[in-house]
């Protein structure tokens, strides 16, 4: 018997998708093919089950100050009903995870973490909770999480609720009745597209009826709009085209926010926080940096491929794939600081052959034609 965990919509996935093991879960890799699902998101909308992501509820008088101490991002900029992307750093400034913080009030938050890091992150928060008047609960099993992404996502969500979703701006959220189900919708996502993430509370894995209702209605009512269910394969190629990091590949405990091009998350003027001393010592001393890489001809870069300049090693690919939108290979990776300029010519070693490529600042596509900027 498999020891893999199941999401709230596992029965649907098992019947309709190619399953794969990911972060301890049995999750859909694809339904109708990665390329088809990818392009559905770029041109219409795609629906993802992301219930494998961890969800922690933190409440109490000191909830705001506690979370503010745990991350380098200043929460004073996040209003009630807002959300913030940030990272958890260890004492040496290594990235433990990238997270989303949802604020309801100064004493009420939800934090979403990566599936592979649920236990580690929960323990890290608990380790620092002493002295704060706050409680923390792992609600991963009791809250289903879906993501509807694509240029038609707003119109679809609007069709399912009486609320004016046009007033929900990027990185804000609101509780609404969605398909008759009480839900939290947030204008966030991991594809580079406009879209919404949908939290369905009081929906245990063993009682997924509410999540199934929302999932089924979107797929059935809007199939003629081009909406498709999407798996982890398309999620990966979409986030790569947008230049978004995958924890465990592009960022991990051996990388810090500065070299990962996430310096915009670090607010040194906010006061003390975990990892601040180490970050102060590292600031302006990067020897390598995360870049995007666009292949010139042929060759599909993959994780671990060497990046070269005139056949000399200068770095390594951390994420790479074929872009269904651009119809060529793209990648992200780390190279020595002097080779990070846009347009720098490099080579990627793929199975012993050096393929020409160019340094490209993500996103790899034109955000005026694709991505949330065209509709936000």
Q: What is the CATH number of the domain that holds 86?
A: 3.30.70.1400
Residues β-bridged to residue 101: 84, 111
Q: 360 and 366 in contact (C-beta within 8 Å)?
A: no
Of 138, 158, 186, which residue is a domain's last? 138
Q: Specify if 293 maps to a domain.
A: yes
23 and 72 belong to one structural domain:
no
315 and 371 belong to one structural domain:
yes
Give the 3-state secondary structure percentages of the chain, helix then strand then coil, rounded to 5: 25, 35, 40
Residue 8 DSSP one-character state: T
pLDDT digits (tens), the chain, 376 positions: 468 999 999 999 999 999 999 999 999 999 999 999 999 999 999 999 999 999 999 999 999 999 999 999 999 989 999 999 999 999 999 999 999 999 999 999 999 999 999 999 999 999 999 999 999 999 999 999 999 999 999 999 999 999 999 999 999 999 999 999 999 999 999 999 999 999 998 777 767 789 999 999 999 999 999 999 999 999 999 999 999 999 999 999 999 999 999 999 999 999 999 999 999 999 878 799 999 999 999 899 999 999 999 999 999 999 999 999 999 999 999 999 999 999 999 999 999 999 999 999 999 999 999 999 888 6
182 and 46 belong to one structural domain:
yes
24 and 157 belong to one structural domain:
yes
Token pair of 360 as six digits: 């490209």
Residues β-bridged to residue 82: 103, 172
Q: What is the CATH number of the domain that holds 211?
A: 3.30.1360.120
Domain containing 348 equals 287-376
The total number of structural domains in the chain stands at 3
134 and 145 belong to one structural domain:
no
Q: Specify if 186 maps to a domain.
A: yes
184 and 303 belong to one structural domain:
no
CA-nearest of 362, 265, 274 to 318 is 362
99 and 216 belong to one structural domain:
no
Measure CA 159 to chain center: 26
Q: Specify if 77 maps to a domain.
A: yes
199 and 170 belong to one structural domain:
yes
Of 240, 265, 298, which residue is a domain's last? 240
Is the bond preceding 81 in cis, omega lying within 30 degrees of 0? Answer: no
Of 110, 138, 166, which residue is a domain's last? 138
- What pTM was estimated for this model as a whole? 0.96
């Amino acid at each position: 018997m498999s020891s893999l965990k199941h999401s709230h919509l596992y029965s649907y996935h098992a019947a309709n998708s190619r399953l794969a093991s990911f972060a301890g879960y049995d999750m859909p890799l694809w339904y109708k093919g990665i390329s088809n699902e990818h392009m559905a998101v770029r041109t219409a909308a795609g629906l993802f089950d992301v219930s494998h992501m961890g969800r922690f509820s933190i409440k109490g008088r000191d909830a705001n100050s506690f979370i503010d101490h745990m991350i380098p991002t200043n929460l004073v900029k996040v209003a009630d009903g807002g959300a913030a992307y940030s990272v958890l750093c260890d004492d040496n400034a290594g990235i433990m995870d990238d997270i989303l913080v949802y604020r309801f009030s100064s004493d009420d938050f939800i934090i979403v973490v990566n599936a592979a890091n649920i236990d580690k992150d929960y323990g890290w928060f608990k380790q620092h909770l002493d002295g704060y008047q706050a409680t923390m609960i792992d609600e991963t099993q009791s809250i289903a999480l879906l993501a509807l992404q694509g240029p038609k996502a707003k119109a679809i969500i609007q069709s399912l609720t009486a609320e004016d979703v046009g007033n929900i701006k990027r990185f804000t959220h609101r509780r609404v009745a969605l398909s008759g189900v009480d839900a939290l919708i947030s204008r966030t996502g991991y594809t580079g597209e406009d879209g919404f993430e949908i939290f369905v509370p009081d929906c245990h894995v063993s009682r997924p009826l509410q999540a199934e209702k929302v999932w089924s209605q979107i797929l059935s009512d809007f199939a003629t709009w081009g909406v498709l269910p999407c798996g982890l394969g398309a999620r990966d190629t979409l986030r790569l085209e947008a230049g978004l990091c995958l924890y465990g590949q592009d960022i991990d405990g051996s990388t810090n926010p500065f070299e990962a091009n996430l310096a915009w998350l670090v607010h040194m003027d906010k006061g003390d926080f975990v990892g601040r001393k180490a970050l102060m010592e590292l600031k302006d001393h990067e020897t390598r940096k995360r870049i995007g890489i666009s292949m010139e001809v042929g060759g599909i870069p993959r994780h671990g491929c060497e990046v070269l300049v005139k056949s000399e090693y200068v770095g390594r690919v951390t994420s790479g794939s074929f872009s269904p939108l651009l119809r060529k290979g793209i990648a992200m990776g780390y190279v020595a600081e002097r080779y990070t300029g846009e347009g720098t010519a490099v080579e990627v070693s793929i199975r012993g052959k050096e393929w020409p490529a160019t340094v490209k600042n993500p996103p790899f596509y034109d955000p005026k034609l694709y991505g949330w900027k065209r509709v936000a």
